[in-house]
A and B are shown apart, each in its own frame.
Chain A
Amino acid sequence: MGKYTFKGKAAVSLAAIAALTLTGCASVGGGGDDKKDGGDSGAAKDGGVVTVAETNKFSGANPGYTKTNLDINGHVAAMTRESFVNVDTEQKLSANEGFGTYKKTSDDPLTVEYELKDPQWSDGNKIDKADMLLWWSVLSGYANDADEEGKAGKNYFTIAGSTDILHTTDMPKFSEDGKKMTLTWGKPNADWEIAFDSNSLMPAHVVAKKAGMSEDQLLKVLEEQKKGDPESPQKQPELEKIGKAWDTSFNFTSTPEEKDVLVSSGPYKIENVVENNSITLKKNENYKGDAPGKLDEITLRTIGDATAQIQALRNGEVDIMQPGNVNKDTLDQVQQIENVNVQKGDQLAYDHLDLNFGSDVFKDEKVREAFLKTVPRQQIVDQLIKPVKDDASVLNSQMYVSSQGEPYQKAEEKNGAKEKYGDVDIEGAKKLLGGKAPTVRILFNNGNPQRVDTFQLIKESAEKAGFKVEDLGDPNWSEKLPDGDYDASLFGWVSPGVGTEMLSQIFKTGGGGNYNKYSNKNVDKLVDEARTNLDEKARVDQITDIDKHTFEDAYGLPLFQSVGYVATSDKIAGVDKYQPNQTGVFWNVSEWSRK
């Protein structure tokens, strides 16, 4: 280290003088040009880029396929696919006339006429007969002939939902020009309006190419497919090829080399996919529908960590976030950010306590009723949900969630949940128990703090009435759910918001989601009736009747709806309502713009 001496005093005094003279002006900087974003007059413009934070990784452009049925893939599909109906934030359906129109021409047999307006794929190929027929073949499972155990026969298309709605339809009839399709149901189905799910609409010309045939050949194969019969399965090798192409062609985690799988019929189309990281969509210039996009580009980027998402939002790296799991900490953080708007709402997901009808303790209806009387629902809501959303209330229906509005109110009036289980009634419970002290083992996810708190509150209250409550908390609770080795279960359902399929899944004897072995002949009958009832009003009546039965039978109790929110940078216009369904914030993507 060389040492150099210089006139120290002089240097110091020089610095001091410099400092003094400079202190004359109050602040430094801000010179040069003014910032260009001065045009922030608040008026929305066309063009621009919007980025949305996602938790999961994009894995494919066909969310109708089981393996790629993920929220982020569905969000991409919401921007790249259209169908005959749109769903609004109250889960009401409206026709999407830019795509096509539909009309019910007969109730018995249920017959519906679909007419395509003139939609086209982003590569210019029209959406026509072949696309419609493929769409129907996938969703109806017309040729499926696999038996229950899946040992013989085959399901040609591996779809994420069920073929329930369209399964009884006949081969559709088309008009000469292929624009009009007439569909006749063998058995009426209440959900016919949502039969054609936009997620499963795949371009027939691309599927044909991937299956190694022309679009005309594909059309011919589909037209000639034989009705499947599990009793006598038959091979349909050409259809198998199409099914395989439909299943596998649209799965990609980075930009595919063949761009044809990126075609879109919605306002945006996939441009670029970066593995595990992001997916970028550009405006679809060939879009002919009613809802063209205003932005140039929308990017979904994967940020798994909640805090990281919030900081990215603060830093302007993402403009919109809609987390699936909401807790008070993160919500508080988001609400504190300046320049960010937060829209809160109730998710379609709700927590509920189900009693296991297969367990010894709850064979006796009195014990069930007594236990339910002790559940402190109001207290649970007050302690767990209200800190996040002040106007939260107890959920009083097993059938509807409160964001569905009218039908929920009707169910609440009729089902007697409020009168019977509105307040905790320890005395009443004691009376029903008559001095017995049954042990109740509750299964729940102890990896979820909210469930743990709920369990504690239920336990405290129930023990006052003389129950012994055992903790069966387990992070792998879902594995144990079908086993039935518990007396009560505490978990959440996600209601699809529209449709009646969950009725037979959850409440019908032997239903796939009927884990607590509930069985009531009246309910079974009502479920079947409601699911085939085409009159909406009468259907709501039947469903509220089912609701009433479940409370009379002391089935269990709905507790509360989870709180959801969407946080948006104030530079984005068009995101002003919370949409609780799976499409989420993307439900009105074509209205988004950058201010």
Chain B
Amino acid sequence: MTSYILRRLITAVLILLGASFIVYLMTAASGDPLWDLYGNPNAQQLIPARVEALNLDTPPILRYFTWLGGAAGCLVPFADTCSLGVSRDGQEVTELLAFAMTQTIMLVTVGTILAIVVGITLGIVSALRQYSGLDYGITFLTFLCFSLPSFWLAVLLKEVVAIQFNDFLQKPVLSMVSIVVISLVVALIWFLVSFGRMRTRLLLAGAGFVVTFGVIYFVLATDWLNHPFLGIPLIALTGILVAVIATVLMAGLRNRRALYAALGTVVLGLALYFPVQYAFKGAGLLTVLALVVVLTAAGAAIGYFAGGYDRGQGARVAGVTGFFVALLIILDRFMQSWPDYVDSSHIRGRPIATANSATPGFTGDFWTTGLDRFTHLLLPTICLTLLALASYSRYSRASMLEIMGQDYVRTARAKGLSERTVVMRHAFRNALIPLATLVAFDIGGLIGGAIITESVFAFTGMGQLFVQAVRNVDPNPVMGVFLVTGIVAMVFNLVADLVYSVLDPRVRVKA
């Protein structure tokens, strides 16, 4: 195993060396690094200055080795010898990279996680109901999103979710007719994607109508959009829902102890609601994280001590419930700050933003700045999630279908396991194995940035850094981006292979 990893790492270094050499020369040869200075009235001073700063008198091959020397300094830990050169404008590439990476990670992380979670869920669900209305619906929607050009989707999102929604917020009133129409449309969708007997489908459609109507009515009548809240009742309601779903998926409703443990955790969360509000005053990220950890741990403990025939199962169910209840309490606290945020002089009642990663000049406590982040990341996150949904859902659907046709699934069914156990334990876990490669690969690609999305939403992440540098015939930042993405891609490639062998006992790494 060790020698395998070592061998892989050595190959990786060699590949990086070779590739960096080629990339450097290609960038250097891609144009005239002085192109923007010709015709500049100060060309006489600027040209020699740049030639000196970027060492342009030296041939690119030699310049590459200077760069390599600087980059090699990065391998010495804590020696402060790391230098990836300077950009055309004299900025240290290491600084540029650090800044661009934070922007990119901020932009793409949530989107990618959501795409993975939602995509896999959709894929599994559509596989379980193959060739049903639901399956076709999901396939249609994911492919629709997949085929949308990202800049167009972004512009559309900005138009509807930001501009028109903000307009709506100025006077959140809907006529009764439009509420009924919306609810009917939702009911129709429920009917179309539901499966089973006609009576069930009609019932589901009816439920869809009532729920949608109720939610819209509630939201508008209480001016919820401008003064959102969860409060004890909604946290309780959602918490119970989470508890039930968690039990259904992870333990089965027959495991009453797990269900009671989960419900107990919800009660614990509610009991903590008021004390926690004091702790939230002047709170930061740490308090929030602490609450999440505490409630998750408390849930797990409750589940464990509730006992039953499977303590581990109870602990998992209640732990997950605790996690979500903590999130709900935190969400509620964010909502309490919403009116302050929306009415601040920088926002002026139009919260959903279309550009940049934060409102410039806006200052506030943890909660309002958090909301500011949220309003800015909302659109790019939706955009990235929708675009990436298709690949995850298709892969997981295909993989799930394959697994469901395997002999051991039939065996599991034959020996009388419940459908839940067959799906969640025998099929789902194994269906995830091929996805491990995909996910590892995508996380590796994450850092490379989303060039178009970045540009449309005015984020200055890795993609922008790269494009700008290529345009400027500026090799150092290009090399910086290449180095980071190259290393991450290689590492995650290796990780994917290793994870594969851990997950799937049939694959063994030959040492």
> Within B190-219, which residues are at the interface with A (CB < 8 Å)?
199, 202-203, 206-207, 209-210, 213, 216-217
Q: Are B354 and A308 in touch, CB under 8 angstroms?
A: yes
Query: For the complex, is B2 an interface residue (Cβ under 8 Å from A)?
Result: no
Per-residue B-contact encoding for A322-342, CB less than 8 Å = 1, 0 else: 000000000000000000000
Q: Are B89 and A28 in touch, CB under 8 angstroms?
A: no
A315 is contacted by which of B207, B248, B350 (Cβ under 8 Å)? B350
Q: Are A311 and B354 in touch, CB under 8 angstroms?
A: yes
With a cutoff of 8 Å between Cβ atoms, the chain A residues found around residue B36 in the complex are 478
Query: For the complex, is B101 an interface residue (Cβ under 8 Å from A)?
Result: no
Shortest Cβ gap from B54 to chain A (Å): 13
With a cutoff of 8 Å between Cβ atoms, the chain A residues found around residue B210 in the complex are 11, 15, 18
Query: For the complex, is A505 an interface residue (Cβ under 8 Å from B)?
Result: yes
Query: For the complex, is B253 an interface residue (Cβ under 8 Å from A)?
Result: yes
Query: For the complex, is B69 an interface residue (Cβ under 8 Å from A)?
Result: no
Per-residue B-contact encoding for A100-115, CB less than 8 Å = 1, 0 else: 0000000000000000
Q: Are A2 and B356 in touch, CB under 8 angstroms?
A: no
A512 is contacted by which of B41, B174, B217 (Cβ under 8 Å)? B41
With a cutoff of 8 Å between Cβ atoms, the chain B residues found around residue A15 in the complex are 206, 209-210, 213
Query: For the complex, is A160 an interface residue (Cβ under 8 Å from B)?
Result: yes
Query: For the complex, is A175 an interface residue (Cβ under 8 Å from B)?
Result: no
Which of A123-131, A273-281, A355-363, A541-549 is found at the contact surface with chain B?
Answer: A273-281
Query: For the complex, is A27 an interface residue (Cβ under 8 Å from B)?
Result: yes
Which of B42-50, B71-79, B109-117, B484-492 is found at the contact surface with chain A?
Answer: B42-50
Q: Are B155 and A307 in touch, CB under 8 angstroms?
A: yes
Query: For the complex, is A29 an interface residue (Cβ under 8 Å from B)?
Result: yes
CA distance A31 to B217 in the complex (A): 12
Query: For the complex, is A217 an interface residue (Cβ under 8 Å from B)?
Result: no
Query: How many of A's residues come within 8 Å of B, CB to CB?
Result: 71
B206 is contacted by which of A11, A28, A297 (Cβ under 8 Å)? A11
With a cutoff of 8 Å between Cβ atoms, the chain B residues found around residue A307 in the complex are 155, 456
With a cutoff of 8 Å between Cβ atoms, the chain B residues found around residue A271 in the complex are 361
Shortest Cβ gap from B243 to chain A (Å): 14
With a cutoff of 8 Å between Cβ atoms, the chain B residues found around residue A301 in the complex are 355-356, 360, 458
A146: nearest residue on chain B (CB-CB)? B45
CA distance A276 to B87 in the complex (A): 14
CA distance A512 to B42 in the complex (A): 10
Q: Are A8 and B173 in touch, CB under 8 angstroms?
A: no
Query: For the complex, is B331 an interface residue (Cβ under 8 Å from A)?
Result: no
Which of A32-40, A390-398, A426-434, A449-457 is found at the contact surface with chain B?
Answer: A32-40
Query: For the complex, is B166 an interface residue (Cβ under 8 Å from A)?
Result: yes
> Within A455-478, which residues are at the interface with B (CB < 8 Å)?
476, 478
Q: Are A277 and B360 in touch, CB under 8 angstroms?
A: yes
Q: Are B180 and A308 in touch, CB under 8 angstroms?
A: no
Query: For the complex, is B220 an interface residue (Cβ under 8 Å from A)?
Result: yes
With A28-B173, A276-B460, A476-B31 given, can you name 20 additional A-B contacts, CB distance below 8 Å?
A2-B253, A28-B217, A29-B221, A30-B173, A30-B220, A31-B221, A37-B349, A48-B345, A49-B345, A49-B361, A155-B45, A272-B361, A276-B103, A277-B358, A280-B361, A297-B361, A302-B458, A308-B354, A311-B162, A317-B350
Q: Please give the residue numbers on chain B whose beta carbons come within 8 Å of chain A beta carbons, in ascending order.
A: 31-32, 35-36, 38-39, 41-42, 44-46, 48-49, 89-91, 99, 103, 155, 158-159, 162-163, 166, 170-176, 179-180, 199, 202-203, 206-207, 209-210, 213, 216-217, 220-223, 226-227, 248, 253, 343, 345-346, 348-350, 352-361, 419, 455-458, 460
Name the 6 nearest CB pairs between A and B, nearest first.
A278-B360, A29-B220, A32-B223, A280-B361, A276-B460, A29-B173
27 contacts between A and B (CB under 8 A): A2-B248, A8-B199, A19-B213, A22-B213, A23-B180, A26-B176, A28-B179, A28-B217, A29-B172, A29-B173, A35-B171, A69-B42, A150-B45, A160-B42, A161-B41, A251-B90, A274-B360, A276-B103, A278-B361, A299-B360, A302-B458, A307-B155, A308-B457, A312-B355, A317-B354, A478-B38, A479-B32
